[in-house]
Structure 1
Amino acid sequence: MSKSIEAMWKQGFVSEGELSAPKVNDLYNRKSQNIVDKLQNMFAVNIKAIVIGALVMLVVMSLIGAPWLGLYICVLLAPLVLIARKELTKSHNLSKGQSSLEYLESFDTWLKNSMDTYSKYYRFFYPLFYIGMVTQGLASNAGGKVMALLLKHYPTEYVLLEIPGYVWAVITVLFLLVVRYSEALYRLDLDIIYGRQFKKLEELITDMRALKAQ
């Protein structure tokens, strides 16, 4: 298009002659499709990024001598990819034989349900990811050397698996924090990546509801 939908929208309010219902509805229809298409494209790109990132992680971890951690992360990400593909398919299957407002409301409902589905998985993903990283760190040669230095300079009678009790205490506290704030971490990540588009979707639905109520 030679003009952006936003520019055409502003222009429609400059001249009252261009405020006919068909033109206003057409602008809303195009604006609605634009935001939905953009979000669906972003979701599709995100799926590809997860797959590529998992493979890169596997290669990098293998090169630095931690292939099992790389494989472990890939296993954790696999369900996420499956969930993402399933949810994206649901969004494409939403009925378009309805008004733009009804379609956007259906898309918004799907989006909220999809976010709930993801959040349930992330409650397990982040703690399991944390456990994998900590386990690899403690089991590595570098981790063993660090524990030995800690025991040398800060000795304690509480030692388990050659790891000081105070280190276990820190690990446990951090684990509980990760468990407690897993969903919050997911929501923050979501807001950083998609927050702007979500806000546009919400504002568009609000505008269309207000117009319909007139």
Structure 2
Amino acid sequence: MSKSIEAMWKDGFIKETQLVAPKINDLYNRKSQNIVDKLQHMFALNIKAIIVGSLLMLLMFSLIGAPWLGVYICVLLIPLVIIAKKELRKSLQLSKGLSSYDYIMSFNTWLQDSIAVYGRYYRVFYPMLFIGMAVQGIVSEAGRKMIGLLVSAWPTDFLILGVPYYLLLTIALIILVVARSADALYKLDLNIVYGRQFKKLDELIADMQSLRKT
């Protein structure tokens, strides 16, 4: 045997005429499908988790006397569920008749596009979520007491709806920071939930691309 095992393995991936090619292709077909199936399953579970979580938050906030904040958060999550279902349907419609390489690359293209779609909404979601929490804090009994303490410590006649201007400026500054950090927050969220699977996907694509170049 003049060829090394490594050379035969590489040739088998690229040339279907080689004896080992079907085994290599089947291996990558299974690895590709396993990763895609795992991610799609996680995406579907995430949709269910958002729905259940929003209902639990509505119940929790209602019990602590802040039902409107619960409703507000549920309203913010509705577009997220709609986006998630739409994007998941797109991934399920990808053609499985392609080669393992073409299939995994088409899935990765969809994934990057989907992340961009989510990212655009999260740039709105995070600031709006903080605004809702800030408003609830201001109108709550505890918030009113805190505002009273602030005015006593730093008196001012410049009040807007009973709220000192410096508190509103602080809230506005935090909203700006949250808005600017939305992409980073979303990427952190992605990494926590899907980081391991994304890493496996990247490694598989890198392996397949490396073999195609040899």
TM-score by length of 1: 0.88
Alignment of 1:14-53 (within 5 A): 20-53=20-53
Q: Percent identity?
A: 59
Distance 1:136 1:168 in 2: 13
Give the aligned residue type for 1:81: V
> 1:69 matched to which residue of 2?
69
Q: 1:70-109 alignment to 2 at 5 Å?
A: 70-109=70-109
Does residue 199 of structure 1 match 2:199?
A: yes
**Where does residue 177 of structure 1 map in the other structure?**
177
Within the alignment, does 1:156 sit opposite 2:156 as a pair?
A: yes
CA distance in 2, matches of 1:114, 1:196: 18
Deviations 1:3-61 (A, max 9, x none): xxxxxxxxx98xx8xx8322222211111111001100110111010000000011111
CA distance in 2, matches of 1:196, 1:156: 52
C-alpha separation between the residues in 2 aligned to 1:212 and 1:154? 68
Q: Which has the higher contact order (CA 8 A, sep 6+)?
A: 2
Q: Distance in 2 between matches of 1:97 and 1:38?
A: 19
Distance 1:123 1:209 in 2: 33
> How big is each residue's C-alpha offset from its partner over 1:113-160, in whole Å with a ceiling of 9 and x where there is no partner?
000110111111111111100000000111001100111122223322
Aligned equivalents of 1:153 and 1:208: distance in 2? 65
Residue identity matched to 1:91: S
TM-score of the superposed pair, with normalisation by structure 2: 0.88
Corresponding position of 1:7: none
Q: Indicate yes or no: 2:115 matched with 1:115.
A: yes
Gaps (5+ residues) in structure 2?
Answer: 13-19
Query: Any gaps of 5 or more consecutive residues in structure 1?
Result: 1-11
Give the root-mean-square deviation of aligned CA atoms.
1.6
Q: d(CA) in 2 for partners of 1:50 and 1:117? A: 17
Q: What residue is the counterpart of 1:165 in the other structure? A: 165
Q: What is the number of equivalent residue pairs in this alignment?
A: 199
Note the alpha carbon deviations across 1:139-186, whole angstroms, 9 max, x for none.
Answer: 011100110011112222332222222211211110110111112211
Secondary structure of the residue aligned to 1:157 is coil
Return the letter of the residue paired with 1:78. Answer: I
4+ residue runs of structure 1 moved beyond 3 angstroms?
Answer: none
Distance in 2, Cα, partners of 1:213 & 1:98: 19
Secondary structure at the aligned position of 1:179 is classed as: helix
